[in-house]
Amino acid sequence: MTQTTLNIPDITCDHCERTITTALKPLEGVQSVAVDIPAKQVQLEFDAERVDLERIKAILEEEYYPVASIAGSGQTTMKENVPVADTLKTTAIDPVCGMSVDTQTARLTADYEGQTYYFCAPGCQRTFKADPQRYLAADNQEPSGGCSCCAPSA
């Protein structure tokens, strides 16, 4: 069994944890998946004979959670690690759900009327792009809070 820690800067919330776990757990050869939200890491235990790390990384990329670096089991780093404190310098509020989003590492954005908006999940980004005025209207002071990204798991 191979034990590996994946550093994924885009992990910000319970939705991220659910998405990552749901994407990786069913893979043949994956023994365990543990997401550490504050550390922005995923600890994996898997059988490298049955599933390779490149496949795992590709799946995470498809889910909008690219792997920044890898630690453990002799794996090499893809790019230099950045201290967490350095990645938390700037945040923005997702206009759909109201979550804080790290603008330094956010991969989900939309430009509207000359301003960039940041999103916690693909669903929030799609919702905003479909009707930006709904989320930017002066009378819409409260984010929806009801988007699928933030809903508790059933």
**Distance from CA of residue 148 to its chain's centroid?**
14
Mean pLDDT on 97-108: 80
Higher pLDDT: 27 or 79? It is 27
Give yes or no for a contact between 113 and 87, defined as CB atoms under 8 angstroms apart. Answer: no
- The residue written with tokens 């990204």 in the block is 149
Mean pLDDT on 47-59: 90
Sorted by where each starts, the structural domains of the chain and their CATH numbers stand as: 2-71 (3.30.70.100), 88-154 (no CATH)
Share of the chain above pLDDT 90, in %: 25
pLDDT digits (tens, 9 = 90+) for 3-22: 889 999 889 888 889 999 99
At residue 140 the predicted structure's pLDDT band, cuts being 50, 70 and 90, is low
pLDDT digits (tens, 9 = 90+) for 108-132: 889 888 888 888 888 888 989 999 8
Handedness of CA 35, 41, 43, 46 (dihedral sign): positive
| pTM of the shown model | 0.53
